[in-house]
Structure 1
Amino acid sequence: MASGNRSQTAQGLTLIAPPLGYAVLVLAAPLLTILAYSFFKDGYLTVIREFTLENYRAVWADPIFHRIMLRSLVVAALVTLATVVLAFPVAYFLSFAVSPQKKAMWLFLITIPFWTSYLIRVFLWKVILGYNGVINSGLKTLGIIEQPLTFILYNVNSMVITLAHAYAPFAILPIFIALEKIDRSLLEAGRDLGESRAMTFWRVTLPLAMPGVVAAALIVFIPTIGDYVTPALIGGGKIPMIANMIQAQMLDLDNRPMGSALAVTAMLIVAVISLVFIALNRRFLRVRQ
């Protein structure tokens, strides 16, 4: 019996070995490389003179880092809030209002933005929000404005709009999956007990859908922190985020150790915030139950 278990274990390890090795190669190796660079005094692996914590001391003592990191967190939080708030009604509509035969078509339509490059979508939003863009041209044609609006581009609002649109499918899909798993008999029981639709949603639907909401929030929040294309194009380079700061250190200044220290520090901050968010959500669900 024991030999049979060992044989099954060996077969399982044989099956997962190729994807596990690939995951380690493409995920763990780059992270370990960045982590190693962050402790180097010299930026070239072939000339390693000594390990140092000076890069991290410089990062934490830099007021520019504090300001840019805080801005990045605020922008990411706003994007996450806007994306999840807009994605939930769409996911709810797909789960509860669309017939099962048409759900696949709707999900297919939601994935259409992925057919084009992310960079092209950002450029399109720049065209839409630009001085002579679609919005300004349309408002001038309708006679609503005489001069083009200048506050709809190169600011935080335009960045939030662009990023919320870009990451909307990532939020809709996990919320939709969570809503699909809800037993409809629970909703019927709530209404049979005299609850209104609003209270049934608040007490039954929303708590059961929270795993999907949490997944959507994390899926949007984490990559938004690392976005540097949108701040550069839609923000006009006037509103840099932490990814732009890392890019400047890595490429423009060729200071790989400092750029790596910035990246590791940002990852740690995002990880802590994500864990706190998950803990608060679990506490919320326990209180509701």
Structure 2
Amino acid sequence: MKSGYSSEQRSGLALVSAPFLYAVLLLAVPVAAIVMFSFWSQSYLDLDTTLTLKNYREAAADPIYGQLLARSLWISLVVTVITVVTAFPIAYFISFHVAPGHKSLWIFLVTIPFWTSYLIRVFLWKVILGYNGVLNSGLLGIGVIDAPLTFILYNLNAVVITLAHAFAPFAILPIFVSLERIDRSLLEAALDLGETKVSAFLRVTLPLAMPGIVAAVLIVFIPTIGDYVTPRLVGGPGGLMIANMIQTQFLKLNNAPMGAALAVIAMIMVTVVATAFVLLNRRFLKGRS
């Protein structure tokens, strides 16, 4: 009896099976464990595996969790907008105004922040934004301010600034790749047909670069909403996010099921927002086509 798969299909399945099992073991299994934990309850060291919605009811009833979720969403949205808006001109300049032989050097310079630890970069921003930090000392030295600025550290502003800097390369690279794939003859044709440089950019370059922009938005938005290191180091009490509460539930309050429930709620929120953005982007592109 002949097999239902050709030799080429069997070879393809053999190549895919190992990465698929690897992804299932390292991604799906931990997520499934977190979801399962969220329906349990715990009292100090006693873990009750009876299925319950207690954690979700508590998360819905306690306003602190809603505030942290809203704050996390707001910070992630602001960071994403700032990062993508500032990354696009850099990627556009490298793609359209840098000689082909020098583009690799510019991309190399963009990746320089990756050379150092993420923690070191966060601590450097703490030094820069501190009460007696580099920024305040410089502004005081040139006479711009009379007293050190206090609103740039240990609040939401510091978290946004630090995260926007940390994730800038992640936004620049996909946008640059998308811009590089644009056929330059299309822009020349648009100009020949009477389009201005601005209208050609809006009607040709921007829509064709949208896949890179979408990738940059998702790459920045999804991890920033779960960041807990930056808010802890530079955010202060008013800059903490939902990930900090999840860490507290797991490591300090010894309430893993509650932490798991908050993690599941955060994952659902991220999925909903990311899916809505992708659908709106598709509708936007269809409307312009």
Determine if contact 1:176/1:212 at 8 Å carries over to the other structure: yes
Shift of 1:146: 2.9
Are residue 94 (structure 1) and residue 94 (structure 2) matched? yes
Determine if contact 1:187/1:204 at 8 Å carries over to the other structure: yes
* Distance of 2:12 and 2:47 partners within structure 1: 42
Shift of 1:109: 1.1
For residue 150 of structure 2, what is the aligned residue in structure 1?
A: 150
Are residue 115 (structure 1) and residue 115 (structure 2) matched? yes
For residue 179 of structure 2, what is the aligned residue in structure 1?
A: 179
For residue 236 of structure 2, what is the aligned residue in structure 1?
A: 236
* Distance of 2:112 and 2:133 partners within structure 1: 23
Gaps of 5+ in 1: none
One-letter amino acid of the counterpart of residue 201, structure 1: F
One-letter amino acid of the counterpart of residue 193, structure 2: L
* Distance of 2:14 and 2:48 partners within structure 1: 37
What is the TM-score of this pair, normalised by structure 1?
Answer: 0.95
Determine if contact 1:40/1:50 at 8 Å carries over to the other structure: yes
Determine if contact 1:218/1:274 at 8 Å carries over to the other structure: yes
What is the TM-score of this pair, normalised by structure 2?
Answer: 0.95
Are residue 10 (structure 1) and residue 10 (structure 2) matched? yes
For residue 83 of structure 2, what is the aligned residue in structure 1?
A: 83
Give the secondary-structure state (helix, strand or coil) at the position aligned to 2:238. Answer: coil
Determine if contact 1:39/1:55 at 8 Å carries over to the other structure: yes
One-letter amino acid of the counterpart of residue 22, structure 1: Y
Deviation sequence 1:10-38 (CA, Å, 0-9, x none): 22222222222222222112111111111
* Distance of 2:47 and 2:233 partners within structure 1: 37
Shift of 1:181: 1.0
For residue 169 of structure 1, what is the aligned residue in structure 2?
A: 169
Shift in CA distance, 53/148, structure 1 to aligned 2, threshold 3 Å: same
* Distance of 2:189 and 2:98 partners within structure 1: 22
Deviation sequence 1:213-256 (CA, Å, 0-9, x none): 11101110110100111111111233211101111111110100
Bigger shift: residues 99-108 or 215-224: 99-108
* Distance of 1:5 and 1:51 partners within structure 2: 43
1:196-211 alignment runs, 5 A limit: 196-211=196-211
Shift in CA distance, 236/150, structure 1 to aligned 2, threshold 3 Å: same
Gaps of 5+ in 2: none
Determine if contact 1:43/1:257 at 8 Å carries over to the other structure: no
Determine if contact 2:44/2:255 at 8 Å carries over to the other structure: no
Identity of aligned residues (%): 62
Determine if contact 2:155/2:237 at 8 Å carries over to the other structure: no
Are residue 160 (structure 1) and residue 160 (structure 2) matched? yes
For residue 188 of structure 1, what is the aligned residue in structure 2?
A: 188
For residue 282 of structure 1, what is the aligned residue in structure 2?
A: 282
* Distance of 1:175 and 1:48 partners within structure 2: 48
* Distance of 2:21 and 2:36 partners within structure 1: 20
Shift of 1:72: 0.8
* Distance of 2:209 and 2:247 partners within structure 1: 37
One-letter amino acid of the counterpart of residue 262, structure 1: L
One-letter amino acid of the counterpart of residue 255, structure 1: N
* Distance of 1:43 and 1:257 partners within structure 2: 10
Shift of 1:67: 1.2
For residue 61 of structure 1, what is the aligned residue in structure 2?
A: 61
Over the aligned positions, Cα root-mean-square deviation in angstroms equals 1.8
